[in-house]
Chain A
């Protein structure tokens, strides 16, 4: 009983303590269209360093599109996106700079199947950060230990389970020592028994103060880790609040409907 309480206390405390005033990500009046289709409609969002934000909303509401705009896997057409002080425009240099500082974990892992786990992790540090191979391997092994699969280092992604692959994907991002991590439904392609191992990894990351934006429908994770939950619908941020208030006292009809659907 007491242990549960204290861990909860800890995460609550972490929620309050680690957020600084510094702005990590800022979206100002962001609009995006796919052809005629208006995906993001005037999205405004400010993320401070150390914040852990969970984004939820119905399918097709633009959650993926929004976080993919943050590292410019998608291009926005109107408004401003400023990441770590760099505004994202068509300036390739700025884009590279942002991508070096922002890690991303995908629903389908997107590991490189022709490289071993270790090579997956050392590739970017070696080629992007110009790190010596020895150092990169050392760092990769530390992160593989952190996600608890150092013994798989010389296997290929195809030889690992889904949960293991996703943990490798997290380690691969961490090897670049990012300031911000983006997660796009990291657990929704996994079998239920593997969800926990990935969530645990993400929780420990949050406890270390990583700035995180996470699209997920794992509401337990949101309650435990997030300091803010954002609800998106039809390309707009409809509601945002602290998790407790968000779940117990949703303001909008659409939020209520959505929560009633996913919570039971």
Chain B
């Protein structure tokens, strides 16, 4: 029998070694991420060329050739002019507040500040007093904001017809978001109810609102609703739009949440029942927290859709951010070939900031709520 030349059993403990060089350094990074295979290399080069071709003109238009200052269209009529930021600068107040009276705009600012100050600690999981904070934002803030924005308690009334711009966009979007979530939850639970009356009512409601385009809803709310109301009652136009948007999005929300409810195994309902929890308790403590977590992407998707759909209020004569930007294209003092493009880029950017913010925050929450379980 030949003596074995390979040792199968280690005779000593081997020291820990650093990983081989291939995994580190800029060159290695390039190799693994951009040039891993011939196909990857080709794609990298193609995309690089595309960017090199497209980016410089865009950057030039946005920044280097852009007109930053000026008080009228003359400034932007230059040959080869880029974006007309002077236009945005001059109209900025309108874009934010609409036709809200100049000397009252501090009220809007105050509401914006209160919103941020209230929302930021609510959004940060580490900050304590969540319950009090939530009550403040859901009960006290809406009331204070209403008084500040509309008037009363000694403040002069500012008719909603004067509201506009980002103010209207945010009011419609936030009211829609805040109303649609609880309404959607109730509708989703209603649709699963064993009581035929509740179930049918929920199904009819959801299918009606989902089947109608938002534009139709808004039109009907402004043209048809007054026909049914007793003459003389004057329903605020913005309020009608708010109700329409809230009901519309709650139907969508209900279906998103129903998807989550269906993903919860029967054992969770039984576990909750077996320890003695009643229907509302088991929904609130066991089922909904899990169901809502599953559908965070869908919920945020609906929020984002809603945020952007606020622009549709334009068709009933309410000027949201996009509406007011477009309205200002017709100002003869600022008409120039680059004005519309500049306005649209600005509006798009503002919308994008808000939607991107929501999207990132939802990803963050999803990761935070992960408890490392596989459901059984």
Q: Contact residues of A with B, CB < 8 Å?
A: 71, 73, 92, 96, 99-100, 102-104, 106, 108-114, 123-124, 127-128, 156-159, 165, 172-173, 176
Knowing that A96-B276, A106-B270 are A-B contacts, what are 14 other residue pairs whose CB atoms are under 8 Å apart, sorted by A's residue number? A73-B273, A99-B275, A103-B275, A106-B271, A110-B267, A110-B376, A112-B286, A114-B289, A114-B371, A123-B285, A127-B281, A127-B285, A157-B373, A158-B373
Partner of B275, one of A109, A113, A123: A123
| Residue pair B275, A158 in contact (C-beta under 8 Å) | no
CB pair B371 A108 closer than 8 Å: no
Task: Count chain B residues whose beta carbon lies closer than 8 angstroms to a beta carbon of A.
Answer: 24
Taken together as a complex, chains A and B put the C-alpha atoms of A100 and B277 apart, in Å, by 9
B270 — nearest CB in chain A belongs to which residue? A73
Give the one of B271, B369, B372 with max A CB within 10 A: B271
Inter-chain residue pair count (beta carbon < 8 A): 78
Ordered by A's residue number, 5 sampled pairs between the chains whose C-beta atoms are within 8 Å are A106-B271, A108-B267, A110-B270, A124-B277, A128-B275
- Interface residues of B, dominant DSSP: helix
* Contact partners of B268 in chain A: CB under 8 A: 110, 112
Bound form: Cα–Cα A149–B268 in Å: 22
Give bound CA distance, A214 to B293, whole Å: 35
Structural contact, A156 and B293, CB atoms closer than 8 A:
no
- Chain A residue with minimal CB distance to B375? A113
Closest residue of B by beta carbon distance from A157: B373
Q: Which residue from A99, A108, A157, A159 sits with its C-beta under 8 Å from B274? A: A99
- B290 contacts the other chain (Cβ, under 8 Å)? yes
> Contact string, B158-189, partner A, CB cutoff 8 A, digits 1/0?
00000000000000000000000000000000
Interface centre among B267, B273, B277, B376, by most chain A C-beta atoms within 10 angstroms, is B376
Main secondary structure of the interface of A (DSSP, over half): mixed
Q: Which residues of B contact A173 (CB under 8 A)?
A: 274-275
Residues from 125 to 149 in B contacting A, C-beta threshold 8 Å: none
A92 to B274, CA, bound (A): 14
Residues of A contacting B24 with CB < 8 Å?
A: none
Task: List residues of chain A with CB within 8 A of the CB of B369.
Answer: 114
Residue B57 CB within 8 A of the other chain: no
What's the Cα separation between A108 and B375 when bound, in Å? 10
Per-residue contact bits, chain B 239-276, to A (CB 8 Å; 1 contact, 0 not): 00000000000000000000000000001101111111
B372 lies within 8 A of A99 (CB)? no
| With contact pairs A108-B376, A113-B290 given, residues A103 and B274 touching in the complex (Cβ less than 8 Å) | yes
- Contacts A123-B285, A127-B281, A158-B374; is A114 near B290 (CB within 8 Å)? yes
Taken residue by residue from 283 to 313, chain B's Cβ proximity to chain A (1 for < 8 Å, 0 otherwise) reads as 0011001100100000000000000000000
Given A157-B373, A158-B373, A158-B374, the answer on whether A112 and B274 have CB atoms closer than 8 Å is no
Alpha-carbon gap, A102 to B276, bound state (A): 9
Cα distance, A159 to B371, chains bound together (Å): 9
B289 touching A176 by the CB < 8 A rule? Answer: no
Q: Determine the residue in chain B with the shortest Cβ distance to A127.
A: B281
Given A110-B267, A127-B281, A172 and B275 touching (CB < 8 A)? yes
Q: Is there an interface contact between B371 and A99, defined as CB atoms closer than 8 Å?
A: no
| A73 vs B277: C-alpha distance when bound (angstroms) | 12
Q: Write out, one digit per residue, whether chain B residues 12-50 have a CB within 8 A of any chain A CB (1) or not (0).
A: 000000000000000000000000000000000000000
Q: How far is the CA of A99 from the CA of B293 in the complex (A)?
A: 28
Interface bits B314-354 vs A (CB < 8 Å: 1, else 0): 00000000000000000000000000000000000000000
Complex CA–CA separation, A110 to B285 (angstroms): 14
In the bound complex, do residue A114 and residue B277 qualify as a contact, i.e. CB atoms below 8 Å apart? no
* B283 → A minimal CB distance (Å): 12
